[in-house]
Structure 1
């Protein structure tokens, strides 16, 4: 567990909004290279680590590199930056936060997120959450010309500025645990994998937060026979929610996805694969939870319905306050997710993979 936290810290603090995952990608390549037989990057920036198994059947594990961010779409004459969201933001979590803005030459400069002061806001409206159109980023510039000299302009991107920190009882907090913890789980598992029954494609994907884009491209390329996505899920075990609303609990172990999604469509994990993962967890004595989440989905959704269809499931790491500067998770939940992933990959025999394939009735 001690070697997991430094890896998660390094990944969490890296700069990598959707479409701009370069810094995270370099970490992934360096961490993955010693433990795979082949390593390559596709045209969109997905990273593939291939570890050959006894058979040519292909397993795909996916974890996304990107985090939610902001993109400058207008520079005010007095130097303030107007922004659009990259991914799903709740504006309440943005106001009053520090951000890091990347310049055209790759430098990072600090900024803060501001909005109209409540003291001069219409009475009755001062406590309402602002809309994104009312939010701006202040980098200290006093004119559009100064912004230009700093190397910032339309198309510049920003992410939250927040350091990784340890809390009590094995909990940690930071930004972008969604889904840098999934990456950490995948990389930590790669270090521990022994002989594999089928060939593994470990894929660090791009642009999950804006539509599961990278996973769709990767699944078309790999054409896996089964797939496991790694991502966070909602741990709503906080004051003000009922037990039914918790989804999962911190400290209860990794969650095995049963269903997720919402108005945009539901993902239902492949039943036989889901049951196999649960059985492996029981046999290995790994604490785990079953997850039904109505709202939000993972790369498993994009992978499952490529080509002829891919049996897919997700192993989720419980996290509180997802898509905020202060996401919280338990390191033992993440390490147990990695243990479960290792056990699944080492126990999914060619015979089991064949059982997932289409059946000829006549």
Structure 2
């Protein structure tokens, strides 16, 4: 994987608005990009993408997935003065919305902020509820908003391009969760398509609506019915001054993360020992550094994937990100390169995995 090419693709894909249930433009772009490197491409009614490469010899059906949606909001109401009230779709945090530039279904807007001069001492210490926030799109009436073709239910997302730090391997912007892994999957298909030097069938899935309940992945896994699945995603880390010592020792630039446990209760998963051992085996073989994690406060599409049909043997390769669910998510390109090398090696070596039965 070429890091420069990865970064340029990410800048392009991350800039596209694609909140949960509104991923159409992202899906269109990704289909255009991945089709030349696939034997077949299909889109289902929800917007999930299925790109397939047939390997050069018989073997398992392997599914590798990433999700296309970003956190966002929708227009909940439009008042008589042209201001928009909002509702969240995914993990939008009120304190990070205030005073931000936003994209309202293709129109520029800002999330309003009460001037400090007008705030009471109590107001300066509190964070408004999302139901008290509003978006200003420069309109002066409800009619003017309607003339802009903005309607109730329209998507709202951050405006924040992908940029690099002085250390060019550090990237920052919106939608690194999880457009980065969509690009990683695209890079995998580019490298595997020509020679197809693996056993079985590879189905790359770009799933929708992860941020609102892992919905697309559930539908996609049922359709693909894979023998084995790997989920690619980014996850929160704890390497900043406000989180060091939290008991969650995960940071950027330290290699891909293998979540041994993710989520809690019915909306989580415990990675199977077989898959965990496979990941560790190939990481060691390639001398790829990795991080083990127990992340009860977050999950991935794996929580839905592994429960479909009779159960799917599945795991996750994830990548640490700072400032999760913000317009300034930060990640390290080297982590993605190392994760890519690991993923490619696993796929191309599938005929050497042996029996992955539960009792071994």
TM band (smaller chain): over 0.9
Instruction: Please tell me whether the aligned partners of residues 323 and 330 of structure 2 are also in contact (alpha carbons under 8 angstroms).
Output: yes
Partner SS state of residue 209, structure 1: helix
Aligned partners of 2:235, 2:248: CA distance in 1, in Å?
11
Partner SS state of residue 35, structure 2: helix
Instruction: Please tell me whether the aligned partners of residues 99 and 110 of structure 1 are also in contact (alpha carbons under 8 angstroms).
Output: yes
User: 1:123, CA displacement in angstroms?
Assistant: 2.9
User: 1:31, CA displacement in angstroms?
Assistant: 1.9
Classify 1:266/1:205 alpha carbon distance in 2 versus 1 (closer, same or farther; 3 Å): closer
State whether structure 2 residue 356 is matched by structure 1 residue 356. Answer: yes
Aligned partners of 1:89, 1:262: CA distance in 2, in Å?
20
Aligned partners of 1:224, 1:92: CA distance in 2, in Å?
41
Instruction: Please tell me whether the aligned partners of residues 260 and 294 of structure 2 are also in contact (alpha carbons under 8 angstroms).
Output: yes
**TM-score, with length taken from structure 2:** 0.94
The 10-residue stretch of structure 1 (283-292 or 202-211) with the greater mean CA deviation from structure 2? 283-292
User: 1:356, CA displacement in angstroms?
Assistant: 2.6
Aligned partners of 1:90, 1:168: CA distance in 2, in Å?
28
Partner SS state of residue 212, structure 2: coil
Question: What is the aligned counterpart of 1:132 among 122, 130, 133?
Answer: 130
Question: What is the aligned counterpart of 2:97 among 94, 97, 100?
Answer: 94
Alignment deviations for residues 54-73 of structure 1 (CA, whole Å, 9 cap, x no partner): 22521111100000111011
Instruction: Please tell me whether the aligned partners of residues 116 and 134 of structure 1 are also in contact (alpha carbons under 8 angstroms).
Output: no
State whether structure 2 residue 25 is matched by structure 1 residue 23. Answer: yes
Aligned partners of 2:50, 2:23: CA distance in 1, in Å?
14
Stretches of structure 2 that go unaligned for 5 or more consecutive residues are none
* Alignment match, 1:175: 174
Classify 1:233/1:247 alpha carbon distance in 2 versus 1 (closer, same or farther; 3 Å): farther
* Alignment match, 1:105: none
* Alignment match, 1:289: 291
* Alignment match, 2:81: 78
User: 1:245, CA displacement in angstroms?
Assistant: 3.6
User: 1:264, CA displacement in angstroms?
Assistant: 5.2
Question: What is the aligned counterpart of 1:147 among 127, 145, 148?
Answer: 145
Aligned partners of 2:274, 2:181: CA distance in 1, in Å?
23
* Alignment match, 2:211: 209
* Alignment match, 1:3: 5
Aligned partners of 1:356, 1:114: CA distance in 2, in Å?
54
Partner SS state of residue 142, structure 1: coil
Aligned partners of 1:330, 1:13: CA distance in 2, in Å?
18
Stretches of structure 1 that go unaligned for 5 or more consecutive residues are 103-107
Q: Across the two proteins, how many residue pairs are aligned to each other?
A: 353
Partner SS state of residue 251, structure 2: coil
Alignment deviations for residues 164-200 of structure 1 (CA, whole Å, 9 cap, x no partner): 1111321010101100011111111222224112211
* Alignment match, 1:160: 158
Alignment deviations for residues 323-351 of structure 1 (CA, whole Å, 9 cap, x no partner): 10000001111111111110111122275
Aligned partners of 1:149, 1:245: CA distance in 2, in Å?
52
Aligned partners of 1:337, 1:51: CA distance in 2, in Å?
20
Q: For the aligned residues, what is the CA RMSD?
A: 1.7
Aligned partners of 2:17, 2:246: CA distance in 1, in Å?
35
Instruction: Please tell me whether the aligned partners of residues 248 and 295 of structure 2 are also in contact (alpha carbons under 8 angstroms).
Output: no
